[in-house]
Amino acid sequence: MKVTFPHMGYLWISLKAMLEYLGVEVQEPPPTTKKTLILGSKHAPEFACLPLKLNLGNFMEAAEIGADTILMAGGCGPCRFGYYAQVEYDILQDLGYKYQLVVVEPPEKHISEFLARIRYITGGRPWWQVINAIRFGYMKARVVDDLEKLAQWRRPREITPGSTDQAFSSALQLIIKAGHPRDIPKAKLQGTHLMNQVQVDERKPVVKIGIVGEIYTLLEPFTNLDVERHLGRMGAEVNRSICLSEWINDHLFMGLIKGTRSSKEARRAAPPYLNHFVGGHGQESVGSTVLYAKQGYDGVIQLLPFTCMPEIVAQSILPGVSADLDIPVLTLVVDEQSGDAGTITRLEAFIDLLNRKYQQKEVLA
Amino acid sequence: MKAYLGIDVGSVSTNLVLIDEQAHIIESYYLRTNGQPILTLQKGLQKMAAKLPMKITVNGAGTTGSGRYLAGIITGADIIKNEITTHAVAASSIVPGTKTVLEIGGQDSKIIILRNGVVSDFAMNTVCAAGTGSFMDQQASRLNIPIEDFGPTALRAKTPVRIAGRCAVFAESDMIHKQQLGYNLPDILAGLCEALVRNYLNNVGKGKEILAPAVFQGGVAANVGMKKAFEKALGIEVNIPEHYNVMGALGAAILAREETIKTGISNFKGFSVANAKYHAGGFECTGCPNMCEVVEIYKSKKVIARWGDRCGKWSNSIAQSEKIS
């Protein structure tokens, strides 16, 4: 058995660590590139959203290098993603791929349900080992998230363009190499040290932008045309409303780990603008925008894949939030476009807008 | 006399504007880009240099439009600004107190909301180019009327027909059906204008508060049928500035003036760049399966700029100090 899974940002680092800790053989797909997109969009239904096409491309590329079992998340609507595992599997079957499919549905009530599902892959290994493996994966996600936050702070302030990205990719290598839970603290320390070596201008005024939207588009830089990196280079400090470790804690551990940001807060902040769940992260997008406004952020960017229903609901509500709380919101819809000139133009104009507002605020203060 | 140069290199047109210190236009050119931005820009600069009165010195230059980096590298621009900012700056210099800018160009459309002279919100078409200039061009040629006659013909309509405007494909087939049923041309054209305005307001203007004074600019503003359709839909007067088709360049010139007044010096390389040998080359990077198409700009035989790589490997290697990609 060689297990593979779709890419979603740095998710692979955690999943690979967890599975390999249990002695399961893993073959992650090659990084998502244009080739992935071409393969995926050739065989996926045209009206499906970008994540389905890229998942499919990931699986096809992983099969080329020997993967034979898919580990994939499920879901239970209203977002279409809940069907994707099955639809992708059927398409692969039609194309003649010999894959086994294991769908991990998010637990509805208790973490034990999640553990029972993962048993399929872990086989007869003792529970304490499975729990340790999951903990290991989660620890890696936490450290990667922490390093990303350091990068988000340093990128707009760096003295030499590109130095933050260089340091970040070296730091990431350290985390990837850590082969045992006891190696994590040292890797974290070294990674943090690398990040702190990036020369910055601490007094440089920067605008602060919160990013909200659909989780896959948020976490996978290939789909969002690297908005975080572009924004950083244009002098904006970025905060993302969803981080992988928080998502794992919320959805798989049912909030077992306390003291970290939770999507509950975002959902609580959504009324009166959006009072109930609309699928995906629609309600969280509205709530996070409210929270960012209250925390003094200068602006919010919403990201969604074309035809994403939950985010379309949020998109039509956000202008009201924006007007009430006086926080500019820019919505970017992503699909198969790979030219980033249009995106850069919009981001630049948005930062101009925020800078002018920021200057006005400074004058008044 | 001191003058400032603004250059807007867009997908369809390349515009050059020369303004004086009071931001009045001395000279303006509107050229078709024809897919050759460098050549078109040099041609524009040559024309401008030939017409330039002796006593004028160019004290600053600014570039905008999708080819702004290219034009900025070639001319040594003092500012390189996105089209949204430059359009807003130009509109509020022509119509003081502008609160809304409606802009429809060849391939994109945007709405800019200004409050107290500052951009407070904007939107641009993202995944769909329905209802932009290219579509109107195409429909005019299908109906065999010159694009210049589109607007005046639409104005003669008595009862504009309703045309589905959500998508250019729907609009086209709806138009053909109406035409085959025997509706007359002015009513169809006016109906198309109304459909495009409806699509623009729903798609780009979604949820935005559109207040007077409103300025309508970009190439499509030449079409009086569109102006009328906007006024009918919005219930406010829509102003079309005299230089509606070069507003981006005007904004860039105004910003170049502000910038050089602040810094005291200009990097503008002079009109001689019009005669230098520039050319664009490129290659496909094989570093990873992204296969980025890297563009290289050469002056004579020397690479002076590079872009198009996702990872920054190539663009960083040449411009460590300039933040381009």
Lowest mean pLDDT among B198-207, B226-235, B270-279, B299-308: B299-308
Asked if pLDDT for residue B278 goes beyond 80, the answer is yes
- Which of B84, B124, B207 has the CB atom closest to A319's CB atom? B207
The ranges assigned to domains in chain A are: 2-125, 134-203, 206-365
- Which of chain B's residues have a Cβ under 8 Å away from the Cβ of A360? 118
Residue A359: pLDDT band by 50, 70, 90 thresholds? Answer: confident
CB-CB: which of A30, A322, A353 is closest to B122? A353
Q: Is A199 on the interface with B (CB under 8 A)?
A: no
Pick A352's closest partner by Cβ from B85, B316, B323: B85
Distance (Å, whole) CA B85 – CA B87: 6
Residues A295-305 have a mean pLDDT of 95
Confidence band for A78, pLDDT divided at 50, 70 and 90:
confident
Between the alpha carbon of residue B20 and those of residues B26, B31, B246, the distances in Å are 7, 21, 16
Give the distance from residue A35's alpha carbon to the nearest chain B alpha carbon, in angstroms.
6
CA A198 to chain centre: 24
Average of pLDDT values for A176-200?
Answer: 95
Q: What is the mean pLDDT of chain A?
A: 91
Residue in A27, A31, A24 with CA at minimum distance from that of residue A10: A31
- For residue B23, the tally of other CB atoms under 10 A from its CB is 15
Chain B residues inside the 8 Å CB shell of A319: 206-208
DSSP symbols for A235-259: TEEEEES--HHHHHHHHTSTT-S-S
- How high is the mean pLDDT of chain B? 88
Give the pLDDT score at B238: 95
What's the residue count for chain A?
365
In this complex, is the C-beta atom of B237 within 8 Å of any C-beta atom belonging to chain A? Answer: no
On whether any CB of chain A is under 8 Å from the CB of B289, the answer is yes
pLDDT at A276 over 70: yes
Give the span between the Cα atoms of A86 and A91, in whole angstroms: 9
Tell me the HSE value of A255 on the side-chain side, using a 13 A CA sphere: 8
Pick from B126, B288, B316: CB nearest A332: B126
pLDDT tens for each residue of B281-290: 888 888 877 7
Q: Which domains does chain B have, with CATH numbers?
A: 2-89+247-274 (3.30.420.40), 96-240 (3.30.420.40), 278-318 (no CATH)
Q: Would you say B112 and B86 are in contact if contact means Cβ atoms under 8 Å apart?
A: no
The H or E element containing residue A102 is: strand A100-104
Task: Give the single-character DSSP code of A160.
Answer: S
Instruction: Check if A2-125 and A206-365 are the same fold.
Output: yes
pLDDT for position B128:
67
pLDDT at A270: 95
Closest CA to B61 of B255, B314, B319: B255
Residue B320: pLDDT above 70?
no
Q: Looking at the complex, does the CB of residue A185 fall below 8 Å from at least one CB of chain B?
A: no
Helix (H) or strand (E) holding A363: helix A341-364
Name the residue of chain A whose CA is nearest to B127's CA. A333
Architecture of domain A2-125: 3-Layer(aba) Sandwich (3.40)
* Residue pointed to by tokens 């303004």: B19
Residue B322 pLDDT more than 60?
Answer: no
Q: What is the mean pLDDT of residues A94-114?
A: 82
Hey, what amino acid is at A109? K
Per DSSP, the three-state class of A77 is coil
Bridge partners (DSSP) of residue B30 are: B15
Q: Chain B: nearest CA to A330, how far in angstroms?
A: 8
Whether the predicted pLDDT of B323 surpasses 60: no
Using an 8 Å CB-CB cutoff, list chain A residues near B310: 226, 340
By the 8 A CB rule, do B198 and B205 touch?
no
Best mutation target, B8, B79, B110, B122, to test chain A (most A CBs within 10 A): B122
Report how far residue A26's alpha carbon sits from residue A103's, in angstroms, rounded to the nearest whole number. Answer: 16
Average pLDDT over every residue of A205-211: 95
Minimal-distance CA residue of chain A relative to B113: A353
CB of B262 less than 8 A from some CB of A: no
* Residue of A161, A320, A341 with shortest CB distance to B66: A341
Say if CB B29 and CB B214 are below 8 A apart: no
Q: Is A193 on the interface with B (CB under 8 A)?
A: no
CB atoms within 10 A of CB B116: 8
For residues A155-170, average pLDDT:
92
Cβ atoms within 10 Å, residue A353: 25
* pLDDT per residue as tens digits for the range B54-102: 788 899 999 999 889 889 989 999 999 999 999 999 999 999 999 999 9
**CA dist list (Å): B182 to A356, B160, B177, B179, B186:** 53, 13, 9, 5, 12
| Residue of A183, A225, A352, A90 whose CA lies nearest to B255 | A352
- Give A36's contacts in chain B (Cβ within 8 Å): 289
Query: What is the reported pLDDT for A364?
Result: 67
What residues in A contact B306, CB-CB < 8 Å? none
Identify the pLDDT of residue A107. Answer: 65
pLDDT of residue A337: 76
A33 contacts in B (CB within 8 Å)?
A: 288-291
Instruction: Order across the sheet with B238-239: list the strands.
Output: B118-124, B109-115, B100-104, B214-217, B238-239
The DSSP line for A271-318 is: TTT--S--STTHHHHHHHHHHHHHTT-SEEEEEEETT-HHHHHHHHHH
Query: ipTM higher than 0.95?
Result: no
How far away is chain A from the Cα of B79, in angstroms, using its nearest Cα?
13
Between residues A117 and B24, which one has the greater pLDDT?
B24
Chain-chain contact of A353 with B119 (C-beta, under 8 angstroms): yes
pLDDT score at B276: 86
**Of the listed ranges A117-131, A139-153, B268-282, the one predicted with least confidence:** A117-131
Q: Residue B203: what are its φ and ψ, rounded to 5°?
A: -95, -50
Q: Which of B66, B127, B320 sits opposite A306 (nearest CB)?
A: B127
Percent of chain B with pLDDT over 90: 48
State the nearest Cα–Cα gap between A124 and chain B, in angstroms.
Answer: 39
Distance from CA of A308 to the nearest CA of B (A): 13
Nearest-Cα distance to chain A for B320, in Å, is 6
- List A residues 22-51 in contact with B (Cβ-Cβ < 8 A): 30-31, 33-36
For residues B15 and B250, is the Cβ–Cβ distance under 8 A?
A: no
Q: How confident is the model at residue A350 (pLDDT cuts 50, 70, 90)?
A: very high
**Which of B238, B161, B165 shows the shortest CA–CA distance to B200?**
B165
In angstroms, the Cα distances linking B148 to A156, A223, B21, B151, B195 are 48, 41, 34, 7, 19
| C-alpha count within 13 angstroms, C-beta hemisphere, residue A339 | 7
What's the rounded mean pLDDT across residues A253-278?
89
**A322 and B108 in contact by Cβ < 8 A?**
no
Strand-by-strand arrangement of the B2-9 sheet: B25-32, B13-19, B2-9, B57-64, B79-80
pLDDT(A256) > 90: no
Which residues lie closer than 8 Å to A34 by C-beta, 6 or more apart? A338, B289, B290, B291
Residue A85 has pLDDT above 80, yes or no: yes
Q: Which residue has the tokens 């074309």?
A: A306
3-state secondary structure chain B: CEEEEEEEECCCEEEEEEECCCCCEEEEEEEECCCCHHHHHHHHHHHHHHHCCCCCEEEEEEEECCCHHHHHHHHCCCEECCHHHHHHHHHHHHCCCCCEEEEECCCCEEEEEEECCEEEEEEECCCCCCCCHHHHHHHHHHCCCCHHHHHHHHHCCCCCCCCCCCCHHHHHHHHHHHHHCCCCHHHHHHHHHHHHHHHHHHHCCCCCCCCCCEEEECHHHHCHHHHHHHHHHHCCCEECCCCHHHHHHHHHHHHHHHHHHHHCCCCCCCHHHHCCCEEEEEEECCCCCCCCEEEEEEECCEEEEEECCCCCHHHHHHCCCCCCC
pLDDT over 60 (residue B325): no
Tell me what pLDDT residue A294 has.
96
- Flag whether pLDDT at B324 surpasses 50: no
CA-to-CA separations, B259 to A346, B78, B256, in angstroms, rounded: 22, 7, 5
Percent of chain A with pLDDT over 90: 69
Asked whether the predicted pLDDT for residue B254 surpasses 90, the reply is yes
The domain defined by A206-365 folds into: Rossmann fold (3.40.50)
Segment 278-307 of chain A within 8 Å of chain B by CB: 306
User: Which residues of chain B are within 8 Å of residue A160 when distances are taken between CB atoms?
Assistant: 320
Which pLDDT score is estimated for B130? 65
